[in-house]
Amino acid sequence: MTLTRHMTHATMGLAGAVLLTLAASAQARELSVSTVLSDAFPWGQAAEKWAELVEERSEGELTLRVYPNSQLVSGDQTREFSAMRSGLIDAAVGSTINWSPQVPALNLFSLPFFIPDEAAVDAITGGEAGEMVFEAIESRGVVPLAWGENGFRQVSNSRGPITEPDDLDGLKIRVVGSPLFQDTFNALGADPTQMSWTDAQPALTTGAVDGQENPLSVFDVARIDQVGQAHLTLWNYMNDPLIFAVNQQVWQTLSEEQQTLLRETALEAGEWETAMTREQESERLAAIQERGVTVTELTDAQYQAFVDATQSVYEKWAPRIGEPLVDAAQKAIDAR
The residue among 298, 163, 287 whose CA lies nearest residue 226 is: 287
Q: Which stretch binds ligand X2X (CB under 6 A): 91-99, 269-277, 279-287, 319-327?
A: 91-99
Out of 45, 58, 78, 98, the residue judged to bind ligand X2X by CB under 6 A: 98
Considering only residues 237-276, where is the footprint of ligand X2X by CB under 6 A? 240
Instruction: Give the distance from CA 124 to its chain's centroid.
Output: 16
Select the span of 53-61, 93-101, 265-273, 308-316 touching ligand X2X (CB under 6 A). Answer: 93-101
In 3D space, the residue among 37, 39, 281, 53 whose CA is nearest the CA of residue 146 turns out to be 53
Alpha helices in 126-246 (DSSP H): 128-138, 180-187, 197-206, 216-221
Instruction: Tell me the C-alpha distance between 299 and 208, whole Å.
Output: 31
Q: Which is nearer to ligand X2X, 62 or 142 (CB)?
A: 142
- Check if the beta carbon of residue 204 is closer than 8 Å to that of residue 222: no
Rounded CA-CA distance 152/185 in Å is 17
95 binds ligand X2X (CB under 6 A): yes
For residue 48, give the nearest of 217, 260, 240, 269 by alpha carbon. 269
Per rule CB under 6 A, is residue 72 in the interface with ligand X2X?
no
- Compose the 165-194 pattern: x for residues touching ligand X2X by CB under 6 A, - for all others: -----------x------------------
Where in 275-314 is the site for ligand X2X (CB under 6 A)?
Answer: none
Distance CA 251, CA 132 (A): 20
> Which of residues 123 and 200 has its CB atom nearest to ligand X2X in the complex?
200
Applying CB under 6 A, among 33, 36, 123, 129 the residue interacting with ligand X2X is 36
Q: Does 197 bind ligand X2X (CB under 6 A)?
A: yes
106 binds ligand X2X (CB under 6 A): no
Most distant CA pair in the chain, distance: 94
How many residues in the chain?
A: 336
97 is a contact residue toward ligand X2X (CB under 6 A): yes
CB of 56 to ligand X2X, least distance (A): 28
- Tell me 292's DSSP state: T
- CB-based contacts of 323, cutoff 8 Å, min separation 6: none
Nearer to ligand X2X by Cβ, of 195 and 305: the residue is 195
Q: Does residue 317 interact with ligand X2X by CB under 6 A?
A: no
Residue 114 backbone phi and psi in degrees, to 5: -90, -40
The residues that bridge with 211 in the sheet, in sequence order, are 157, 173
Stretch that binds ligand X2X, among 26-34, 94-102, 107-115, 283-291 (CB under 6 A): 94-102
Indicate whether 157 belongs to the interface with ligand X2X (CB under 6 A). no
Find the residue with minimal CB distance to ligand X2X: 197
Buried b (16+ CB within 10 A) or exposed e, 294-319: ebbebeeebbebbeebbeebeeebbe
Please tell me the count of residues contacting ligand X2X according to CB under 6 A: 12
Binding site for ligand X2X (CB under 6 A): 36-37, 77, 95, 97-98, 150, 176, 197, 214, 218, 240
